[in-house]
Structures are given as structure tokens and as C-alpha cells.
A = this chain, B = another copy of it.
Amino acid sequence: MTAHPRLSINQATIKHASLADALRTTADAGVGAIGLWREPVAEAGLDTAARMLADSGLRMSSLCRGGFFTSKEGPARRAALDENRRAIEETAALAAAGAPGSAAVLVLVAGGLPDGSVDIAGARTRVAEALAELEPEARAAGVTLAIEPLHPMYAADRAVVSTLRQALDLAEPFAPSSVGVVVDTFHIWWDPDVLPQIARAGAAGRIASYQVCDFLTPIPADALLARGMMGDGHVDFGSLTAAVQATGYAGDVEVEIFNAEIWAAEPAEVVARTVEAFERTIAIEPLSTTV
């Protein structure tokens, strides 16, 4: 089976593979792109990781992840923002090393409520403030900060940004080239407002990444691991993908699955399953420029 030309394997889907193995497994399956994570890149060292990516011939579709900047002013917040500055530099370096068509996109997960706080409005204000602080640096580096709304079940402990509408409102003050959004089917499939907001994101040129995976029930004991292979759960990929396609989105489509069973399987087998499920469920058109 040939992989879809716009498929990208997010590294978290084959979480236990080293960077070297992830790159090789992805390329060997005929997949053209990969979404990287900062931790395995740091393990290899940025320069080495960039060289490995270049040697793989793969495009980088995004780097996961920055964000986690909801804490109040103080040393912890300063450290978080500095960490984001490093992530911006890494994104630029890796995108430059990847094959043509690589995206200098840094995925941002906002962060949850600070410990003991119920002030969600305040936490959201601090997300806006962090974007304002980081945006000039992203712009200078040619990096797009991609705000990812996370499923509302993570609002307390992971991301106070819960809907595409909210992410787009946060992005609005900035140029689309420096602040965009992630459209991740797992997080937003349930939203009654999702199709108009995808259209809005596309019209504003703000879809920085389209990520796909399914939503499983029952939600497992570790709620982070409710993700599943496309077709195994409740997501209507047809309508969501058609909405993204209709905007003219021309980037790669990342498959990002956190799932204990998938993590326990052989990476090559997971990638093969992903190639097959993508072909079956994600009816996005190939691009003439992506070959």
C-alpha cells in the first residue's frame, strides 16, 4: 500500500521509538512527513536531530510543543516563556532541515489552571499575554505559533483553551503567519460550532495544522489516552475533513494517537495500520505540489 501523499506521522503515535527509529519507520513506509516532539529531539541534540531529519528526506509537519503559560507572573512563568523561546528556535531549525514543504509550526498547549486556582478567566488572559510576548519572536524566526484547543475534559489540568472559536479569538490580534490554530479532530469533533469555525479559520489563513485521530469510549482511566485509530471511534472524519479541504488547507495531515495499546505495538505495524486507516477515512485531496 502506498501512503497518502499528505499523511504525516506524529511521533507521539509511535511514542516508544527513538527519533532515529521514528524517522526510519516513517520513511520506510513511504510516508512523506513527520510531526516531531521536543523531548526526543532534545535527547538526540538539536543539531543532530536536524541532520537526521534532513537525511531522512521527510518533511516536518509540526513540532510539539510549547505553551503551558497560564501561571501568574513570577519565576515559573518566566521559565515557561523562555522554554517557549527555545521551542521557537528549535522549530525554525528543524523546519529548515526538513524536506521542502516542511512547516515551521510550533504546537501550543495552553496549560491548565494554576494549582488551587479556579480563576479560568485569569488563566485565559495570561494565555493572551503570553502570545503577545512570544509573537514578535516567532515572527522574527519565521515560525507559526499554533494554538491547539484541547477537549474540554482537559480544561482544568491541561488547556484552558477548549474550542476553535476561542483559539481563533486569541489568534485574531496577530498575523496568520505568526499565530494560527491546530484543528485536531479528537479535541473538537463534538463542538456544534465546529464547521463554521473551521471555515472561519480557513478564511483567515489560520489553519496551521490538521491533526486526526478518533475519540474512543469508554474514556480510559488515563483520560489522555482516549485517542484511537481513525475509524475505531465516534468522529465523523468525512464532514470535518471536507470542511478543512474546503478552506484550501494545503498542509500535511498528522495522525497523533495517544493510546496504550497502540504504544505497545511495533512502530512499523502502527505506521502500516495508520497508512491503511488514513486511506480509508481521510478523504483529503493530494496536492500537485506535495509529491
Contact = CB atoms under 8 A, between A and B. Distances in A.
Given A219-B219, A219-B223, A155 B235 contact: no
A124 interface: yes
A222 B218 CA distance: 8
A152 B191 contact: yes
Interface centre among A124, A153, A162, A239 (most CB of B within 10 A): A153
Contacts of A239: 121
Contacts of A288: none
A217 B152 contact: no
Interface in A122-170: 124, 151-153, 155-157, 160, 162-163, 165-166, 169
A192 B163 contact: yes
Q: Is the interface of A mostly helix, strand, loop or mixed?
A: loop
Interface centre among A113, A163, A166, A217 (most CB of B within 10 A): A217
Nearest to A195: B121
A234 B118 contact: yes
A187 to B, nearest CB: 9
Please classify how large the interface on chain A is, using the bins under 10, 10 to 19, 20 to 34, 35 or more: 35 or more
A152 B163 CA distance: 11
A113 B234 contact: yes
Interface in A160-202: 160, 162-163, 165-166, 169, 189-193
A1 interface: no
A233 interface: yes
Interface of A: 113, 118-121, 124, 151-153, 155-157, 160, 162-163, 165-166, 169, 189-193, 215, 217-223, 233-237, 239
Given A152-B191, A157-B218, A220-B221, 16 more contacts: A113-B234, A118-B236, A120-B234, A152-B190, A153-B219, A155-B189, A155-B190, A155-B234, A156-B234, A160-B190, A162-B192, A163-B193, A165-B193, A169-B192, A218-B223, A219-B219
